[in-house]
Every structure is written in structure tokens, then in C-alpha cells.
Amino acid sequence: MFDWDDLRVFLAVARARKVAPAARALGIDATTIMRRLARLETALGADLFEMASGERTLTVRGQALLRHAEAIESAAISAVEDVAGKEQQLAGHVRLSVAEGFGTWVLAPSLAEFSRRHPGIRLDLITASGFLNPSKREADMALMLARPQRGRLSVKRLGAYRLHLYASADYLARTSRPERPDQLRDHMLVGYVPEFIFSPELDYLDEVEAGLEAHLRATSINMQYHMIRDGSGIGVLPDFIARRDPGLVGLMTDRVEIVRHFWLVTHEDLRKVVRIAAVAAWLQERVTLAFR
């Protein structure tokens, strides 16, 4: 019989696909990870991983073990929730994947209040390019721009937000103010780098006017905001960012409006976990306040 705790190591490596991030997530060193994986493979008499392009991918037997290991993990989570008291249930680690702009402008200002309300919850906000996938247990929860179509997931629409064209008053003082979308071709435009748009919902300019291309591009919405605010050009910004800045001017607001939705995605096994529910309630509260 193998050591049950080795399954926890196996799951971490299977999800991270590399030893180093799995070691960081578990709080143990990489050498220990490798030793325990080797011990598990010896106990099972099977190779669980193979190396491909610098990542550890599951073998056929590894994939079979993954299904059982996730079932065991789910049972363990349910056992803790059933047995633990309320105080213990509202403690633990939650990893939340969010868009950078939403995390910066909506969540970050309220984190102190969240910590006061739930001091036992350790919350990680991940704003890396692209959303982490709860289906693969890369994150416990994700606030996504599109509803996922597959996976054992619980999905809830939190709310809609609007985006408009914005420019700084200084920029408009130096140039003519566009009154129609086609006139944007005569202006400096700010937007995303096309090759690094991780979600088609971020492809705003083509929705404003087919064929528009940004002259100044960044993968970060916060960088785009600063470029627009400082007079570099015209760009599309979420209202929950731009309306906080009196120096920004909305353009063609009656003609050009883009609507997007945030979907809260959680792995089905975690949906009823109390700390997950507490974070979900906080997110709904923040969305309601920010987008009203």
C-alpha cells in the first residue's frame, strides 16, 4: 500500500505539469517532490509521468490514477466540511483567477475589509495572462469572460459591465474629436497586442469598427489606461476603470457601447465548501457595487 499523502503530491504535479511550481504550492522542496513521486510509482508499479517539451505529462496509467486521486480529494474535502466546526470551515486557502483590471480596480480596494470579515481565509489573486482553469484545478475559482462549455464545473453569471471609447482631455485638445467610428482611423489608437489576446472577448477595436488596429499596444489593461490617460491616444476601457478618472472623456457613448459578462467558475467538488462560498458572496457583492 502506498502513502496516501503521496497522492497530494501527484495531484500537484499533474496540475502544475512541473515540479517547481508544485513544490511551491505544497510548501515542500523539489527534491522531496521527486522522491515521493518515485515512491508512489514504485508502490504502484507504473510510470505516471513522461517528459515532453519541458513539462511532465501524464501517461495512460497516470491519467487513470488522476481520476481516482481527484475522487479521493473530493471525498476528503467533503469529510472536512461535514466534521469541522464553522470556525474551521471559514479558514484555509483559496486561489482565485481574475482579470487584471477587475482585480486591480474592484477587488484590491476591498481586500482589507474581506480580511477583517474572514481572517482565516488566505486568498491568492492570480492575474496572469489567461485565466487559470478550475476544471484542471489550476485555481479554485475563476472569474471568466466567457462561459466554459465543458468540465465538472459550477458556473454562475455574476454580472455585466460596459466599455466605451475614452481619450484624455489633453489628447482631444491637440486633435479633432471623432464623432463616428470610421473617423478613428485618423487617430492614434491604444489596444491589446493581437498575438497575446487570451480571450476573444478582449478584441474590442474590431467590434467598434471592422479593421481598426491599435498603434500603441500593451498586454495589460492597466498600461492601456495609463497610456490613454496620459494623452497617447484613444482606446476602449471598462467604465469601472475610466469613470473613476475625471481627466478621461467618453467618446461616441450613444453610438459605441461594448457589453461583457463575468462568469464565476468553480470546480463542482468545491462549490459547497464554506470558504469558497464566502469568497463567492464577496465577489457578487463587489460586482453589484461596481457595475450598478
Q: Using alpha carbons, select from 216, 108, 210 the residue that is nearest to residue 167.
A: 216
H-only helix segments in the chain: 5-16, 19-26, 30-44, 60-83, 86-89, 100-102, 111-117, 169-174, 205-208, 221-229, 239-242, 274-290
Domain total in the chain: 3
For 246, phi and psi rounded to 5 degrees? -65, -15
Among 86, 97, 103, 124, which Cα is nearest to 266's?
A: 97
Cell of 126: 492570480
Q: Which domain holds residue 56?
A: 5-83
Q: What is the CATH number of the domain that holds 223?
A: 3.40.190.10
- Strand (E) or helix (H) holding 4: none
Quote the Cα angle for 78-21-148, to 5°.
55
- Do 35 and 172 lie in a common domain? no
* pLDDT for the residue numbered 87: 47
Q: Are residues 150 and 266 in the same domain?
A: yes
Average pLDDT for consecutive 10-residue bins of the chain (292 residues)?
86 87 88 93 92 88 86 73 59 87 94 92 80 65 85 87 96 94 96 87 91 94 96 96 95 95 86 85 92 82
Residue 18 and residue 102 share a domain: no
* One domain, residues 164 and 251: yes
CB contact set of 207 (below 8 Å; sequence gap of 6+): 258
Say yes or no: 249 and 189 in one domain: yes
The enclosing domain of 26 has a CATH number of 1.10.10.10
The C-alpha cell at 94 is 483559496
Sequence-distant (6+) residues with CB within 8 A of 114 are 121, 123, 282
Residue 267 confidence (pLDDT): 82
> Among candidates 265, 237, 275, which has minimal Cα distance to 91?
275
Beta bridge partners of 265: 142, 155
43, 1 Cβ separation under 8 angstroms = yes
**152 and 265 belong to one structural domain:** yes
Residues 111, 182, single domain; the answer is no
Name the residue among 162, 289, 165 with its Cα closest to residue 224. 165
Same-domain status, 251 and 121? no
* Same structural domain, 38 and 28: yes
Q: Which of 83, 115, 144 is the last residue of a domain?
A: 83
- Measure the CA–CA gap between 18 and 23, rounded to whole angstroms: 9
Q: Which of 83, 105, 124 is the last residue of a domain?
A: 83
CA distance 30 to 24: 8
Same domain membership, residue 225 and residue 171:
yes
pLDDT for residue 178: 95
- Regarding whether 280 and 208 lie in a shared domain, the answer is no
Q: Give yes or no for a contact between 69 and 37, defined as CB atoms under 8 angstroms apart.
A: no
